[in-house]
Amino acid sequence: MKERNLRDFYTKGEPVELTISDIAEKDQCFGRLENGTGVLVRGMLAVGDRVRAAITKVRPTYLETVLNELLAPSPDRVKPECPVFGVCGGCKWMHVSYEAQLRYKQKKVRDALVHIGGFQDIDIMPVLPARNTTHYRNKVEFSCSSKRYLLPEELQKDVLDKPKDFALGFHAPGNFEKVLEIDRCYLAKECMNRVLDTTRAFALEQNLEPYAARQHKGFLRNLMLRYSEEQDELMVNLVTSWHDSRLMVSYGDRLLSTMPGQKMTIINNVTTRKNTVAIGEKEYVIHGEGVIQERLGDLRFRISANSFFQTNTKQAETLYDGIMEMAGLREDDTVYDLYCGTGTITLYLAERCRRAVGLEIVESSLADAAENASCNGITNASFYGVDLKDFHTLLGMLEEFGFPRVIVTDPPRAGMHPKALKTMIRLQPETIVYVSCNPANLARDSKEISASGFRLEEVQPVDMFPHTSHIETLACFRRAV
């Protein structure tokens, strides 16, 4: 019997009404019409919203639409704090109560493991909530542009309150050229917002030329801020196209006079690259040491401008404590930490075992990891630069330390390379703790691990980023006896 093709029944632009039943990817939600037709709706919505939407594409088996009108709000809805919510791409779930966000994220992990991984009756633990739902980020990057993104209400004005040719804030979603002017970010620390305000005022007073990405010209590129919870210290990193020593001294003096009593280090990263990434080729320290220090558990870490560190300090401790609990380390264990980065997880593990070995391919990260081990007086952690795709690159290390009883892997968002996954399985540890920031790829890799003689025993989501769709997940596998 011929399948029903929706193109025979619906046309582009036609309005439809439905109730949102699920959250989908890429700022979309899902619901069904009364006749059962599946509909994707683009817009900031919540489960339970009753909406009117316009069809943008008619697929053979479902409809793509864009929100036109909210007819009846969901019980999950709350009023977002941020005045530019819906325009800025950062806090896409700020219109949803935090309790509902946690439910959505738990379901997101479960759906991935069931529909992609093929797991049945999988028990997903409740999401471990964040201690703070706002002002939790210890790192924020603001961009400067010669093209300011205009808000909808500004498009109707003949005279604008702010210049069109200068903006310091966040890139508009999907637009590398234009920047949305931000007065206050609700995820950043309040001291970061004061630096943002001071920097904008200084730049406008000094007539600093904002960077134009397409033309590759202009002086002021980025403002990158880091914050130490333990030291209450700020790192202010102004990224520019060239170094002007006199100007940087004036900028440093302005910050110090505007924020008396605030401990901070001020640096200037300089880059000539044709991109908008806040990483410099050369660095100048204007004030302070040029680094800040932070503590995770009993460990202290030196953080430079361009080094990696978890962006939610308090939740990083929750995540790492979860790793330790799942790993179940013994004093005589050898544990391998794959994709170890700057060694934060490796050093956490080293405190509870005989030997922790961090594996990473990025040389700068390995140097930071070795420095972090030295700063903490840890001598039973080793770091190796290896390509996990090739098993033979591990042979020298295996000869020195032996096969691991426990492996922790924290791959990038794309997940483990298939060959790296096979390498990990070939090592045949008793326990694998998989740390994932992408439920879909966790499900894909979990399916492969489980098919290779391991049992998925525990899944624990951890909310590192409230008001966003991102979720960190810990999965524990035990080798079948």
For 223, the token pair is 């403002």
Percent of the chain exceeding pLDDT 90 equals 76
User: What's 308-479's CATH class?
Assistant: alpha beta
DSSP state of 419: H
Measure the CA–CA gap between 438 and 235, rounded to whole angstroms.
Answer: 29
For 403-434, what is each residue's pLDDT tens digit? 999 999 999 888 899 999 999 999 999 999 99
Long-range contacts of 419-427 (CB under 8 A, 24+ apart): 419/388, 419/389, 419/390, 420/338, 420/388, 420/389, 421/445, 421/448, 421/449, 422/391, 423/388, 423/389, 423/390, 423/391, 423/394, 424/338, 424/388, 425/449, 425/452, 425/454, 426/391, 427/336, 427/394, 427/403
Kindly report each contact of residues 425-428 with a partner whose C-beta sits within 8 Å and lies 24 or more positions away, as own/partner: 425/449, 425/452, 425/454, 426/391, 427/336, 427/394, 427/403, 428/403, 428/479
Gap between the Cα atoms of 102 and 201, Å rounded: 39
CB 372 within 8 A of CB 348: no
pTM (2 d.p.): 0.91
Torsion of CA 131, 132, 138, 141, to 10 degrees: 140
Which contiguous run of DSSP H or E holds residue 266? strand 263-270
Answer whether residue 2 shows pLDDT above 60: no
In Å, what is the CA distance from 48 to each residue of 21, 51, 76, 80? 6, 9, 8, 17
Weakest-pLDDT range from 101-105, 311-315, 414-418: 414-418
Q: How is residue 216 written in tokens?
A: 């590759």
| Domain at 139-296: CATH architecture | Beta Barrel (2.40)
- What is the C-alpha to C-alpha distance for residues 411 and 183, in angstroms, rounded to an integer? 35
The H or E element spanning position 423 is: helix 418-426
Q: Which of 88, 191, 340, 437 is catalytic?
A: 437
Sign of CA dihedral 345, 346, 351, 352: positive
334-338 β-sheet, strand order = 381-385, 355-360, 334-338, 406-409, 431-436, 472-479, 454-462
Least trusted range by pLDDT, from 83-92, 131-140, 179-188, 319-328: 83-92
* Residue 78 in tokens: 């709350």
What pLDDT does 162 receive?
A: 87
Which residues, 6 or more positions from 426, have their beta carbon under 8 angstroms from its beta carbon? 391
Our answer to whether residue 144 is catalytic in this structure is no
* pLDDT over 60 at 166, yes or no: yes
Separation in Å, CA 370 to CA 117, 156, 409, 435: 36, 56, 19, 22
Report residue 26's pLDDT band, with 50, 70 and 90 as the boundaries: confident
Joined tokens for residue 344: 């934060």
| Average pLDDT value over all residues in the chain | 92
d(CA 392, CA 389): 9
Distance CA(81)–CA(78), nearest Å, equals 9
What does the alpha-carbon distance between residue 327 and residue 458 come to, in Å, rounded to a whole number?
Answer: 11
Measured CA to CA, the distance from residue 381 to residue 379 in angstroms comes to 6
Highest average pLDDT, of 59-63, 161-165, 201-205, comes from 201-205
Which residue spans within 73-164 are E strands per DSSP? 139-145
Cα dihedral 474→466→177→148 (10° resolution): -170
SS3 at position 32: strand
Which amino acid type is present at position 182? I
d(CA 110, CA 120): 10
Distance set, CA 55 to CA 11, 42, 273, 356 (Å): 7, 10, 42, 55
Of 220, 222, 229, the C-alpha closest to 191 is 229
Residue 121: per-residue pLDDT = 84
Q: Which residue has the higher pLDDT, 306 or 481?
A: 306
The mean pLDDT value for 347-373 works out to: 91
DSSP 8-state symbol, 217: B
What is the C-alpha separation between 444 and 116, in angstroms, rounded? 6
328 CB-side CA count, 13 A: 11
pLDDT, tens digit, 9 for 90 and up, residues 191-238: 999 999 999 999 999 999 999 988 889 999 999 999 999 999 999 999
Domain boundaries, the chain: 6-72, 139-296, 308-479
State residue 1's pLDDT score.
37
pLDDT top residue among 67 and 396: 67
Residue 3 has pLDDT above 70, yes or no: no
Best CATH choice for the domain 6-72 from the list 1.10.760.10, 3.90.280.10, 1.10.1840.10, 2.40.50.140? 2.40.50.140
Alpha helices in 5-97 (DSSP H): none
Answer whether residue 14 shows pLDDT above 70.
Answer: yes
Stretch 120-130: mean pLDDT: 94
> Once rounded to an integer, what is the mean pLDDT over residues 163-189?
90
139-296 and 308-479 have identical folds: no
Count how many residues are written for the chain.
Answer: 481
Return the higher-pLDDT residue of 172 and 217.
217
Residue 386: strand pairing partners: none
